[in-house]
Chain A
């Protein structure tokens, strides 16, 4: 992959090559690449001087990191307690039924990555779903198809 080591160098430098900032560095790389390619993980280990095992340990522990490329649009259905109580499971099931993948997965055509999230903090609008940066609240099950249909 072109430029991976260059970008890693830039990010690691931005954090003064401070080993304590490993998680922050990975977060920025995740943002930059949209995921964490193997080469990026190797580069971080090499440039920052932290064991590769630790880089993988962290990259596979946290939900923010993806070791596979993500889809064009990110669907997040809130399954926090307040939304749960207002019917989130049926919303989640509806999305799953419509796009054919489970939470944590990306559709084969790379259109959607589907995730559940534990509280977006908009409990008053529950049940809530976000697609990319758009919030969709007060959802009812029939709405779901229309909502995601907009995102190509």
Chain B
């Protein structure tokens, strides 16, 4: 059975890709890199970082969408860079910078900050919580549940009090694959585990209120 192909334009380049693919996947196949922070090819698209935002135009209508989740459509025109998109990416980095402090502004986050000219100290004076060094991208949580299937690390809380925590009561099941260490864009997990095998921030820290001290 022949797979249905869709013809679309990404950055003025004509691209043919399989129906059902997302813009991010189609772009990658065509050699166009769209930056991401929460995306991982083994995980279901999550849509948390919004860095992969692109402009799509179809039937005269323009929208800004997350390319990791948007299915390609016939006649779709995609712009992966524009003044609007660039501003979004710049602002997103500026928004998370205060949570990271200097140690967390590494790797991809640092690259994005440089590429988009983010002023990482722009919102520092108005950020009055304790920096967590976590952008809540959820790669660790989702990898552990979707790929490893062991559920040792999870999300708790809501809104600005949302945290990623390790569950010591699940430690016995952890295969110590350390995938979460490598996935973490800010290096938090590795940094806060210091010699132990498991991440150092646990559900107990959350429940005791230690994590929520402003």
- Whether A and B touch directly in their complex, counting CB atoms under 8 A apart, is answered as yes
Give A contacts to B, CB under 8 Å: 42, 51-54, 56-57, 60-62, 67
**Min distance, Cβ B39 to any Cβ of chain A, angstroms:** 21
Which B residues touch A52, using CB under 8 A? 151, 167, 169-170
B154 touches A57 (CB 8 A): yes
With A53-B151, A56-B156 known, 9 other A-B pairs at CB within 8 A are A52-B151, A53-B141, A53-B153, A53-B167, A53-B170, A54-B151, A56-B167, A57-B155, A62-B158
Which B residues touch A67, using CB under 8 A? 207
B158 touches A56 (CB 8 A): no
B contact residues, range: 10 to 19
**Min distance, Cβ B208 to any Cβ of chain A, angstroms:** 11
A61–B158 Cα distance when bound, in Å, is 5
Which B residues touch A51, using CB under 8 A? 145, 151, 154
**Min distance, Cβ A142 to any Cβ of chain B, angstroms:** 32
Which A residues touch B169, using CB under 8 A? 42, 52
A45–B187 Cα distance when bound, in Å, is 31
12 A-B pairs with CB atoms under 8 Å apart are A51-B145, A51-B151, A52-B169, A53-B151, A53-B153, A53-B167, A53-B170, A54-B154, A57-B155, A60-B156, A61-B156, A61-B158
Q: Which 5 A-B pairs have the closest CB atoms?
A: A53-B154, A51-B151, A60-B156, A53-B151, A61-B158
Which B residues touch A53, using CB under 8 A? 141, 145, 151-155, 167, 170
Which A residues touch B155, using CB under 8 A? 53, 57
The residue in chain B whose Cβ has the minimal distance to the Cβ of A50 is B151
B157 touches A61 (CB 8 A): yes
Contact pick for A56, options B145, B152, B154, CB 8 Å:
B154
B158 touches A60 (CB 8 A): yes
The residue in chain B whose Cβ has the minimal distance to the Cβ of A61 is B158
**Min distance, Cβ A89 to any Cβ of chain B, angstroms:** 20
A57–B206 Cα distance when bound, in Å, is 12
A9–B78 Cα distance when bound, in Å, is 53
**Min distance, Cβ B140 to any Cβ of chain A, angstroms:** 11
Which A residues touch B56, using CB under 8 A? none
A54–B203 Cα distance when bound, in Å, is 12
A135–B157 Cα distance when bound, in Å, is 30
Which A residues touch B151, using CB under 8 A? 51-54
Which A residues touch B141, using CB under 8 A? 53
B157 touches A60 (CB 8 A): yes
The residue in chain B whose Cβ has the minimal distance to the Cβ of A42 is B169
**Min distance, Cβ B83 to any Cβ of chain A, angstroms:** 37
**Min distance, Cβ B202 to any Cβ of chain A, angstroms:** 11
**Min distance, Cβ A147 to any Cβ of chain B, angstroms:** 30
Which A residues touch B156, using CB under 8 A? 56-57, 60-61
A67–B203 Cα distance when bound, in Å, is 12
Which A residues touch B154, using CB under 8 A? 51, 53-54, 56-57
A62–B161 Cα distance when bound, in Å, is 12
